[in-house]
Chain A
C-alpha cells in the first residue's frame, strides 16, 4: 500500500535550482503581463478601450490581470522553500543570498501595491498557520527580517559564501553572485527612497552610494529577455483583439510629444489612419459611449508583440538606479551631482529600450536639467516614468510617492474622479481569512483604494 500510494508523477523533493528557475521566470513573466494589462493603465501609459472597468478605476473588477496577489505569494512560497533548503543543507548555502534578495524584492512588490499585508505569519501553511495576520508596512520595510534587513543579510550571505556549489537556475545573472550584490544594493537605493518620506535614510543611502556596488550599467541589469513559446511575452501570442484593446493614453501622448521623445516609436505605433502621427486617448473611457476607430489611435509598439523577443522582464535596471540617485541628490539625501545621474539615467534608459538617443535630447528645452523653469524632481520622475514603462506597477507607485508625472483625471471614473493610491485586497481574503482581513481593512476605510499606504506621505 505504501508503495502503491507513493506518487510516481512528481518528486517529493527537488533541487533548489529547479525552484529558483521557476520563481525568477514566473515572477518576471507574470509581472510583465500585469504591467502591460494593468500597471500601464494605472500608470496612464496606456488606456483600454473596452472591458476596462479597471482602467476606469474599479480596481476590484479587473478584466485582464490586475490581481497579482496569488502569484506573488506563490512565488514567495517557493522562494521560502529555497531559503529553507539553503539553510538546512550546507551544499545549498549558495542559494541563501539570492533567496533573501528575492524575498525582499517580491515582498516590496506586494506591500507597495497593497499596504499592510500578511508577512511574518505568512507562508506557514504547512505548519498550520492558515489565517495569517497582516503586518504593518513600516515593519515590513524596516523591522528585522523585513525588506531592508533581508537585503543586507542577502548581501552578507553572498559575500560570506566560500563553497564551491554553482548558483544554478539563475536566469537573470547566470549564476554570477557579484551581480546579485549589485542588484541588492540597487534595491536598497530604491526602497530607501521609497520610505524616505517617513524615515531618515540619508546615511544609509550615502553608504550605498559610497560603496558603489550597485547596478551602474545595462549589462548588470536584473532582467531576462523573453524568448519564443512557451517562454514568450504573453501579449505576443494574445489574441489580436486583446492586444488592440490597449492604446496610447493621452498622458503618454502629451509627455512624449512635449519632450519630442523618439521612444514614442518604440512604445507605440503611429496611427493606421495617418501614418507618422501618434494619438492617444484619455484614460478610463465609458466603452458604452465610445465610438471610435482604432485606426485613428496609436496601438502599443511592436516590442510588445511582433518583436517581443527584444523585450525584457524588468526586475531592476541601471536607468532606474541612476534616476533614483538623481532624485536623492536633488533632495540632498546624498552628495552627488543630480544632473550627472539624471543624464546617465536617461542615456541608460534609451539604451535599455534600444532607441537611439538623439544628440540634442539632453539639451532640449524640456529635458535639459533644471532649465527653463523646470522642476528638477518632476523632470527626474518623468524620465523614470518613461524608463519604467511595462515595469510592473512602478510608474503608478512612484506617482503615488511623488505626484509625478502629473497624471490626468480620467474620463469616466468609477472612483469619484480620484486616482487610486493602493490596490484592494482581493475578495479571496475576505472569504478565506476574514478575521485578519477585517482588522486590516477596517484601518483603511474598509479596504479603500483611496487610503494611502504608510510610505505614501504625498
Chain B
C-alpha cells in the first residue's frame, strides 16, 4: 500500500520539511521534503506511523489503508525545547547525548537578586551556589558537579558566544592584625543583568562542554540575552522591583551578664585602666540587678559645665565618671542594623522590522544594605541588534555597558576591620550602641574616634562610615558576529567579542583606627581585558534518512590583566585621603598578566531519522601558560568527545502512559591549563628597607615541565515522560576522572620553600542528577507545575602526587595562627571538601578526658572535622497559576556536611552567646572522664570537679580547637516566593493604558530557613588567601531577608 501526505505546522499551516515518519517497531521510515510532503509504500493496516520533528510534539497515527494523509504537528512542550549548546549552536534537547539544563529567563528575573548567580540557586540539578557573607555586593561561589580539580573549580561563563570573566580579585593584604583586611569586591558574573537574559543553559559535564576547551572542564554557564525578534513593531516593557530588607538571622545573645571578668567591671578609659575594661568579655556583673557602674557612655561633668561621655577620654582629665545603671540591651545588635532596601528598575524597548530587530535596555539597581553605610549601585545599558542586509547574511551585535559602584564594601573575616569582631564577638552585653553614632570625641573630629573600647575594637559606625572601601567599576562586554550562507549547505560564522573592565578602589582609614593610629590610605586599580575571536565553517546535508552536520572552526583568546596597589600606612593631615598626604613611604605593588590560547576544533553531528543522534568533537588548544622561556613543547593538547542519543519512543511501542523516552551516553576528555608564569621561578619585591629595594625568592618552586590537566568523563542519561509529558524524569549518572592535576603542593619549610608546582594526583567525581517535572493540575484556569532538581555528588581522591599521603589544599585561619586553622586536606580515598582541625583529647570511647584542673586537654593532632559538601541537594520549584493569579516558590534543601563557625567560637569564648547564659555559682562540671589509672593503663571515671562557668566557656569554645564550634550544615530554605496578579488585557485599565500585560506581585527572597544554626544564615562561604572557602563561617555579616513588590508592564 502506498501512502502520500503532507505535514504542516498546526499554528501557521506552513509545511514542515524534514519531519521523520517512522513505522513503529520497524526500521522503515522517511522524511518530508521541502514541500512537507512524503510518501511511503508497503504499509500494512496494523502499522502505526510516528511523526516526529525537533521542537514538535510527536504524533502517532494508525494506518487504516488510506492513500493520503494530512498531519498537523503542534509545537512541543517545555522539555522538548531548543537549547543553546557549545559555540552557541542551537539544538533540540532531545538530540543531545549529554546533560544540559535550561533555565528560562522568566524564572531568573522573577525574584531578582543583586548577584546574578544567586538567581540560579536551586534551579539547576548539580549546580551548587553559595552566597557571600559581606552583604550586598559580595561574591557568590558556583560549582558544577562538585570539585573535580584541586585548584580550579570555576565554570566558564559565556554570554552570547563570548566568554566573560567571573574572577573575584582581592586587594593586597597582610595577614596579621596590623594591616588592611581582605575585601570582597564581587565576582565578575554577578553583573549579568537578569532582565536582559533570555535563557541560561548549563552545560554540566565535559561532554557538553568539550568544544569550549581548556576553560570548560568545570562546566559552562551559557547565557543568551534577549533580542527584539518576538515583537512586531515596537514593544516597550518596564519592570520595577522594590525590596525592603531586614537581617535574616542575627546571633542570639545572653542578656544576663555584662562586660567584665570574674563578675567584676568598671570602665575608666577602655584601655585597661578600669577593672577588666581592656578586653570586652561578658563575664562581668549581673545585668538588671540594680547595679550602678561606670560605663563608656556614663556622663562626666566638665568644669565648664559641659557633660561628656566616659569614653571621651581625650576630652576630660581626672573628672570622675558618674556610674549609671548596669542594664541589659537585648536589641543592641539588632537595632544597629537598619532597614535596607533594593530597587531594581528596567526599561526595555524592542522591535523588529523587515530586515532585522533590535532591543535596548536600561537597568538601574540601587541597594542600601541593612549594614549601615554599605550599598551597591549598578547601571546596565544593553543594546542588541540583528539584521540581514541581504538574504544570505546575518549580522548580530550586542553590547553591554555596566557601571557598578559602592561607597563601602565591608571587610571579611576575623579582625578589627570587620564590625562583627566588635559587634558579634566582643560587644559587652550591657553596651548601648546608640551613643556610638556620634563617633568622634567632641573637638577631635577626624582625629580621635569615640568607642566603647580602645584596645582592640573600633566603633562599628566609625568603621562603616569613615574607614570605607569604595570602588567604581566600568565594564564593557560586547561582540559582533556575521553569519553567511556562502553556498548551498555551507555556512560561515565569524565572531569577535571582548570583556573589558577597569576598576578603581579606594581604602580610607581615619586617624585613631585600631590598626592605623595615624590613618592610612590605599588605591587599588584592577584591569582586565579578554578578546576572543573565532570562526566556524558549517556544512549540512540530508542524505535520505541520514542528516549530516559538520563544522570546523578556530578561536584565539588574548587576555591581559593588571593589578596595582599603592598604599601609605600613615598620613600627615587627618581626614585627607590622598597618596600625597602620606607620612610614610608609599608602598607600590604591581602585577600584570598575559595569556593566549589558540584553538582549532571540529564537530560532526549525525542523525538518523530523528531516532538516533551521534556527535563527535575534537579540539586542540595551544596555551601560552604552559610555555617556558625556552620551550613550547607542552603547550599543545588535544581532546575528543563522542556522544549519542537514541529516542526509544520513536522506535518502539512503549507501554501505555509513556509519551517520550530517550537514552543518551557520552564520553569526553577535556584538558586544562593553568595561570600564567607557573613555569619559571622569580624573585619578588619585599617591603623596602630604609627606602631601598629588597627581594626574596618566591616561596613556590616553579615547574619547567608542566603538562595540562586532563578530565575524562563518562555520562549516561535517560529522559522519560509520561501522560502526555505531564510527568517527566531526566536522569543522569556521571563519572569523571581529573588527573595529572596542576597544583601547588605545600612542602616542608626546611626545603627553603613552602610550595612546589607539580603535575599529579587524580580526583574522581561521581554523581547522580535527577530533574523531575510534574504538572499535577492542568485545566483552562488552573495550572500547577513542579520542578524538582536533585543531585548528589561524590568527589574522591583517587591518587595523590607524593607518598607522604596528605595534600593540603588550603586553610582558613584566625589571623596568621597555625593552631587556629581549619585545614582543607585530603588523603588518598578521602573526599574533596574534608576539613581537619583540632579538638580536645578524648578516650577510645570518644569521651572528653578531663585534666587535674577540671578542664579538657588540648589535643594538637589534627582530626577530621567533617566534609563541607552536602550529601545531596534538592531544589523544589513550584509554579501555580489560578486564572490571573500566580504563586511561585522555591525551596532549597541541602542535606549533610559540616560548618565550622568562628562566630560560635569567638562570641562563645567572650560569653556573649545564649549558649553561655547558664552560669551557676557552683560552677560547671565539664562533661567527660578523669583518668584515675596510669598513662599506660588508664581507668576512666566520670568527672565531678566543677570549674567556674567563665573558665568552662572560655575553654569549651577556645579558638585553638575547632571541633566544639562545628555544626551540622544541613538546611532547608525558602529561597524565593512570589504571589502575583496579571491584569487581563481586556480589563478596563489595560485597555485605557494600551497595555499588553500588567503584572503586580509581592516577592520575597531568603525568607525562611530550618537549620541547626541559630546565629546566622546557614548558607555560608568565607574568604581567605584571596579565594573562596567553604565550610567555615568567618565572622559573617547577616544576610538579608527581602520582601517587596514587583510591577511589570508591557506596552
Using CB atoms and an 8 Å cutoff, list the residues of chain A in contact with chain B: 1-2, 4-14, 18-19, 21-22, 24-26, 50, 53, 58, 60-63, 67, 69-70, 73-74, 76-78, 80-81, 117-118, 121-126, 129-132, 169, 171, 227-231, 234, 237-242, 244, 272, 286-295, 412, 414, 426-429, 431-435
Q: Which residues of A contact B335 (CB under 8 A)?
A: none
Query: Given known contacts A5-B625, A230-B584, A287-B954, what 5 new A-B pairs fall within 8 Å (CB)?
Result: A2-B630, A60-B858, A73-B749, A121-B750, A125-B753
> What are 13 contact pairs spanning A and B, CB under 8 A?
A4-B595, A11-B682, A12-B682, A61-B960, A121-B750, A126-B681, A130-B756, A239-B178, A291-B260, A294-B273, A295-B274, A427-B819, A431-B862
Known contacts A124-B752, A231-B687, A239-B416; A74 and B951 CB within 8 A of each other: no
Distance to closest chain A CB from B952 (angstroms): 8
Q: Contact check, B688 vs A123: say whether CB atoms are below 8 A apart.
A: no
Distance to closest chain A CB from B558 (angstroms): 9
Asked if B1 is at the interface of the complex by the 8 Å CB criterion, the answer is no
Which residue of the partner chain, among A5, A80, A117, A132, contacts B677 with CB atoms under 8 Å?
A5
Give Cα distance in the complex from A121 to B751, angstroms.
Answer: 8
Give Cα distance in the complex from A5 to B706, angstroms.
Answer: 13
Distance to closest chain A CB from B642 (angstroms): 30
Chain B: CB-nearest residue to A416: B852
Q: Which residues of B contact A61 (CB under 8 A)?
A: 819, 858, 860, 960
Give Cα distance in the complex from A230 to B522, angstroms.
Answer: 14
Q: Contact check, B279 vs A241: say whether CB atoms are below 8 A apart.
A: yes
Q: Contact check, B752 vs A123: say whether CB atoms are below 8 A apart.
A: yes
Interface locus among B228-236, B691-699, B977-985, B1041-1049: B691-699
Q: Which residues of A contact B275 (CB under 8 A)?
A: 291-293
Distance to closest chain B CB from A79 (angstroms): 10
Known contacts A6-B680, A241-B278; A22 and B818 CB within 8 A of each other: no
Using CB atoms and an 8 Å cutoff, list the residues of chain B in contact with chain A: 177-178, 260-264, 266, 268, 271-276, 278-279, 283, 416, 453-457, 514-517, 569-570, 584-585, 587, 590-592, 594-596, 622, 624-632, 635, 676-677, 679-690, 692-699, 701, 746-754, 756, 802, 804-806, 808, 817-819, 823, 825, 853, 858, 860, 862, 948, 950-951, 954-955, 960
Q: Contact check, A14 vs B690: say whether CB atoms are below 8 A apart.
A: no
Give Cα distance in the complex from A429 to B749, angstroms.
Answer: 8
Q: Contact check, B689 vs A171: say whether CB atoms are below 8 A apart.
A: yes
Give Cα distance in the complex from A63 to B948, angstroms.
Answer: 23
Q: Contact check, A291 vs B261: say whether CB atoms are below 8 A apart.
A: yes
Distance to closest chain B CB from A112 (angstroms): 16
Give Cα distance in the complex from A81 to B676, angstroms.
Answer: 25
The CB with the most chain B CB atoms within 10 A, among A61, A231, A241, A286, is that of A241
Q: Contact check, B948 vs A239: say whether CB atoms are below 8 A apart.
A: no
Known contacts A2-B628, A124-B752, A295-B273; A10 and B683 CB within 8 A of each other: yes
Chain B: CB-nearest residue to A242: B177
Q: Which residues of B contact A8 (CB under 8 A)?
A: 592, 594
Give Cα distance in the complex from A294 to B278, angstroms.
Answer: 8
Q: Contact check, A22 vs B752: say whether CB atoms are below 8 A apart.
A: no
Chain B: CB-nearest residue to A9: B591
Chain A: CB-nearest residue to B814: A63
Q: Which residues of B contact A229 (CB under 8 A)?
A: 569-570, 584-585
Q: Which residues of A contact B626 (CB under 8 A)?
A: 5
Q: Contact check, B756 vs A18: say whether CB atoms are below 8 A apart.
A: no
Q: Contact check, B804 vs A432: say whether CB atoms are below 8 A apart.
A: yes
Known contacts A5-B679, A131-B804, A431-B862; A10 and B684 CB within 8 A of each other: yes
Chain A: CB-nearest residue to B631: A2
Chain A: CB-nearest residue to B755: A125
Q: Which residues of A contact B950 (CB under 8 A)?
A: 288-289
Q: Which residues of A contact B278 (CB under 8 A)?
A: 50, 241, 244, 294
Distance to closest chain A CB from B946 (angstroms): 13
Q: Contact check, A11 vs B752: say whether CB atoms are below 8 A apart.
A: no
Q: Which residues of A contact B276 (CB under 8 A)?
A: 291-293
Q: Which residues of A contact B454 (CB under 8 A)?
A: 240-241
Distance to closest chain A CB from B810 (angstroms): 13
Which residue of the partner chain, among A6, A18, A73, A414, contacts B695 with CB atoms under 8 Å?
A18
Q: Which residues of A contact B860 (CB under 8 A)?
A: 60-61, 427
Chain A: CB-nearest residue to B753: A125
Which residue of the partner chain, among B687, B750, B955, contacts A288 with CB atoms under 8 Å?
B955
Q: Contact check, B279 vs A132: say whether CB atoms are below 8 A apart.
A: no
Q: Which residues of B contact A132 (CB under 8 A)?
A: 748, 750-751
Chain A: CB-nearest residue to B952: A288
Q: Which residues of B contact A295 (CB under 8 A)?
A: 268, 272-274
Give Cα distance in the complex from A435 to B687, angstroms.
Answer: 36
Give Cα distance in the complex from A283 to B165, angstroms.
Answer: 54
Give Cα distance in the complex from A53 to B268, angstroms.
Answer: 27
Give Cα distance in the complex from A428 to B631, angstroms.
Answer: 35
Known contacts A1-B635, A230-B584, A237-B517; A63 and B817 CB within 8 A of each other: yes
Give Cα distance in the complex from A78 to B684, angstroms.
Answer: 11
Distance to closest chain A CB from B360 (angstroms): 38
Chain B: CB-nearest residue to A20: B694
Q: Contact check, B752 vs A125: say whether CB atoms are below 8 A apart.
A: yes
Q: Contact check, A77 vs B752: say whether CB atoms are below 8 A apart.
A: yes
Known contacts A241-B278, A241-B279, A244-B272; A25 and B694 CB within 8 A of each other: yes
Chain B: CB-nearest residue to A424: B860
Distance to closest chain B CB from A213 (angstroms): 28
Q: Contact check, B677 vs A228: say whether CB atoms are below 8 A apart.
A: no
Give Cα distance in the complex from A81 to B273, angstroms.
Answer: 50
Give Cα distance in the complex from A29 to B712, angstroms.
Answer: 50
Known contacts A287-B954, A294-B272, A431-B862; A9 and B682 CB within 8 A of each other: yes
Distance to closest chain B CB from A431 (angstroms): 6
Known contacts A22-B695, A228-B584, A428-B818; A76 and B261 CB within 8 A of each other: no
Give Cα distance in the complex from A24 to B808, angstroms.
Answer: 31
Which residue of the partner chain, among B274, B676, B692, B697, contacts A21 with CB atoms under 8 Å?
B692
Q: Which residues of A contact B686 (CB under 8 A)?
A: 22, 26
Which residue of the partner chain, among A121, A287, A428, contacts B749 with CB atoms under 8 Å?
A428
Q: Which residues of B contact A60 (CB under 8 A)?
A: 819, 858, 860
Q: Contact check, B682 vs A7: say whether CB atoms are below 8 A apart.
A: yes
Chain B: CB-nearest residue to A133: B750
Q: Which residues of A contact B747 (CB under 8 A)?
A: 125, 130, 432
Give Cα distance in the complex from A388 to B630, angstroms.
Answer: 52
Chain B: CB-nearest residue to A291: B262
Give Cα distance in the complex from A169 to B692, angstroms.
Answer: 9
The CB with the most chain A CB atoms within 10 A, among B263, B453, B590, B819, is that of B819
The CB with the most chain B CB atoms within 10 A, among A53, A412, A414, A428, is that of A428
Q: Contact check, A286 vs B455: say whether CB atoms are below 8 A apart.
A: no
Which residue of the partner chain, among A58, A70, A81, A129, contacts B858 with CB atoms under 8 Å?
A58
Q: Contact check, B746 vs A432: say whether CB atoms are below 8 A apart.
A: yes
Q: Contact check, B689 vs A231: say whether CB atoms are below 8 A apart.
A: yes
Q: Contact check, B279 vs A13: say whether CB atoms are below 8 A apart.
A: no
Chain A: CB-nearest residue to B687: A230
Which residue of the partner chain, among B457, B628, B690, contacts A171 with CB atoms under 8 Å?
B690
